[in-house]
Amino acid sequence: MILLLLLLAGLGHAQEVQQQLPDKTRILFLLDGSGSMLAGWGDTNRITAAKELLGDLVDSLKANPKLDLALRVYGHLYRRSSQNCKDTRLEVGFGKNNHNQIINELKTIEPKGTTPIAYSLEQAANDFPSTAGYRNIVIIITDGIESCDGDPCAVSLALQKRGIFLKPFIIGIGMGQDFKEQFKCIGEYYDAKDISSFQKALAKAVSTSLDKTTASIELLDINKRPRETNVNVSFINNFTKEPAFDFVHYRDPQGRPDSVQLDPVLTYDVVVNTLPPVIKRNVNLIPGKHNVITISSPQGKLSIKQKSASTYQNGVRAIIRERGKTAIVNIHDINTQQQYLVGKYDVEVLTTPRRHFRNVEINQDQTTTLTLPDPGLLNLYNNAPGYGSIYEIDESGRQEWVYDLAHDQSRISLALQPGTYKIVFRVDKAPGSKYTAIKTVTIESGRSAVVKLFN
């Protein structure tokens, strides 16, 4: 009876949604106030059109209580002759009911100077409050490229990787599609060739930021039927290459994949973590819609048996290949010496996870020594069966599959190389992939770590 109560308690905890988007959004408008914005545009000039349309947009957003706005401008404080590359200022910070303040401030902007986009983005990192529960968006409105020898591409990537804001939107006023290549390293570029297209680009950037967007994933078998399931699916941020979402795929009793909410601001590489993985790159979601993502990922089973295999249970071996070649030269037992021809080799050590040594040089009558750190021990406890995997997270934040968890084992002890790991797990009885839980753990040499998946 006690065991049943514990199991039900664990299932109740598991069925809380584990991964969901923040409920609120912040949008920072980063407006170009450089001298070139005085150029004619239709029946008016660029700055006048930008201020009027942006003001109208801000006014229309007053009714959204889950949206905070702010305004930063650059190139408007100093004359171009001074070439002041720190010419940027947060004119209106984030706050409730500041719409009229932004509208009034827009009216005072007079273009003067240069275009310090990189520096302005760096400063924008300080504009977003640290309060949790928000998605941070930047919409850049400009009619020119960086003119201060800064690197807006590097700045944008660094701030996205730090989680300061999502992929920015860039609206190019009167610039043309030729500039798309120059801005794609910063974010999503919209070409506003005229006032009408500028208005549409503004609306598109805002709606993409705010509209609720869902997706379901159909994993197709060899007959193109969506029957594969219970495999980890990772949504990788195509821009930063870091994981944005991880779900253990789910189909309901009728065989239908469930729906999850995703962020349409991002472009994804969708990785089905089969062995080997299947990757669908550059997946753009339609904002405000339900998106169906189909990926062919047929699977079968392989059973490998060997009598007395337990003799080698604690052994570690390495695969040796000549540099740049796929053929295996030797399977090398750890803690032994073996002679090889002089040359360069690639060594794959079959620890968990595997460790690679590239371009290892073997010299005449010399011993080349490779040393690996001692493993640590990960002890996993779970009171309900389920599906999941372990990933290693490298220093840049990227993840790589390491190990699939046994479906029905309540305790798993696994030797792992030192590092940072993420455990992605969904209880078998949970009614959807949105109940997938994520735990992180650090493994140290010679030490044990304990993780309870669900208490």
In tens, the pLDDT along 227-252 reads 999 999 999 999 999 999 999 999 99
Segment 139-163, tens digit of pLDDT:
999 998 989 989 999 999 999 999 9
**Residue 417, Cβ neighbours under 10 Å: how many?**
20
Q: Is 221 helix (H, G, I), strand (E, B) or coil?
A: coil
According to DSSP, the residues that pair with 296 across neighbouring strands are 220
User: Where does a domain end: 156, 180, 210?
Assistant: 210
User: Does pTM top 0.75 for this prediction?
Assistant: yes
Q: What is the mean pLDDT of residues 387-413?
A: 93
The mean pLDDT value for 251-277 works out to 93
Of 179, 210, 241, at which residue does a domain stop? 210
d(CA 120, CA 387): 45
| 119 part of a folded domain | yes
Mean pLDDT confidence for 336-362: 91
- pLDDT above 60 (res 14): no
Q: What is the mean pLDDT of residues 406-427?
A: 91
Of 269, 217, 209, nearest to 239 (Cα)? 269
Residue 236 CA to residue 224 CA, distance in Å, equals 24
* Residue 4 maps to a domain: no
Are 356 and 382 part of one and the same domain? no
Segment 211-236 mean pLDDT: 93
Q: Is the pLDDT of residue 117 over 60?
A: yes
Please spell the DSSP secondary structure of 101-166, one letter per residue. HHHHHHHH----S---HHHHHHHHTTTS---SSEEEEEEEEESS---SS--HHHHHHHHHHTTSS-
Residue 73 belongs to some domain of the structure: yes
Whether residue 162 sits in one domain with residue 114: yes
Instruction: Say which amino acid occupies 129.
Output: P
* Cβ–Cβ < 8 Å for 262, 285: yes
244 shares its domain with 353: no
Q: Let me know: does 95 contact 27? Beta carbons within 8 Å.
A: no
Same domain for 336 and 354?
yes
Tell me what the pLDDT averaged over the chain comes to. Answer: 90
The reply to whether 177 falls in a domain is yes
What share of the chain has pLDDT > 70, as a percent?
A: 94
Binned at pLDDT 50, 70 and 90, residue 122 comes out as: very high
Higher pLDDT, 179 or 91: 91
What pLDDT was estimated at residue 180? Answer: 81
Answer yes or no: do 196 and 227 share one domain. Answer: no
User: Do 256 and 122 have their domain in common?
Assistant: no
Which CATH number characterizes residue 222's domain?
A: 2.60.40
pLDDT, one tens digit per residue, over 61-111 is 999 999 999 999 999 998 988 889 999 999 999 999 999 999 999 999 999
**Contacts for 253 with CB less than 8 Å, ≥ 6 apart:** none
The Cα 41–Cα 193 span in angstroms is 9
Instruction: Classify strands 24-32 and 134-142 as parallel, antiparallel or unpaired.
Output: parallel
Quote the pLDDT of residue 182: 84
How many domains does the structure of the chain reveal?
A: 4
The two structure tokens encoding residue 124: 């924008």
Residues 357 and 269 in one domain: no
In sequence order, what are the beta bridge partners of 344? Answer: 361
Q: Is the pLDDT of residue 13 over 70?
A: no
Q: Region 208-236: what's the mean pLDDT?
A: 93
Task: Give percent of the chain above pLDDT 90.
Answer: 71
Q: Report yes or no on 368 lying in a domain.
A: no
CATH number, residue 155: 3.40.50.410
Q: Cβ(31)–Cβ(141) under 8 Å?
A: yes
Q: What's at 122, amino acid-wise?
A: E
Tell whether the model's pLDDT for residue 310 goes beyond 70.
no
pLDDT for 157: 96
Residue 245 in any domain: the answer is yes
Average pLDDT over residues 338-359: 91
Q: How far apart are CA 49 and CA 171, in angstroms?
A: 13
* 114-127 per-residue burial string, b: 16 or more CB within 10 A, e: under 16: bbbbbbbbbbbeeb
pLDDT over threshold 50, residue 439: yes
Strands, E, within 180-288: which ranges?
188-192, 213-220, 232-237, 243-248, 260-262, 267-272, 278-284
Does residue 314 surpass a pLDDT of 80? Answer: no
Do residues 215 and 293 make contact, with C-beta atoms less than 8 angstroms apart?
Answer: yes
**Whether pLDDT at 329 is above 60:** yes
- CA dihedral of 151, 236, 277, 225, whole degrees rounded to 10: -130
- One domain for residues 59 and 78: yes
Domain closes at, from 362, 388, 404: 362
Mean pLDDT for the stretch of residues 425-443: 92
- Does residue 151 sit within a domain? yes
Domain region containing 223: 212-296
Number of neighbouring beta carbons within 10 Å of residue 209? 22
Rounded distance, CA 1 to CA 10, Å? 14
For the record, the structure tokens of 62 come out as 């007053």
Is the domain of 194 the same as that of 219? no
Q: Burial code of 142-160, b = ≥16 C-beta within 10 A, e = fewer?
A: bbbebbbebebbebbbebb
Residues 105 and 125 in one domain: yes
The answer on pLDDT for 178 being more than 90 is no
Binned at pLDDT 50, 70 and 90, residue 17 comes out as low
- Which residue bears the tokens 């009793």? 253
370 within some domain? no
What is the CATH number for 445? Answer: 2.60.40.1120
User: Do residues 157 and 290 both lie within one domain?
Assistant: no
Q: Is 181 helix (H, G, I), strand (E, B) or coil?
A: helix
Per-residue CA distances from 284 to 13, 163, 260, 264, 287 (Å): 33, 20, 15, 7, 9
At residue 336, the pLDDT reads 87
Tell me, yes or no, whether 36 and 162 share the same domain.
yes
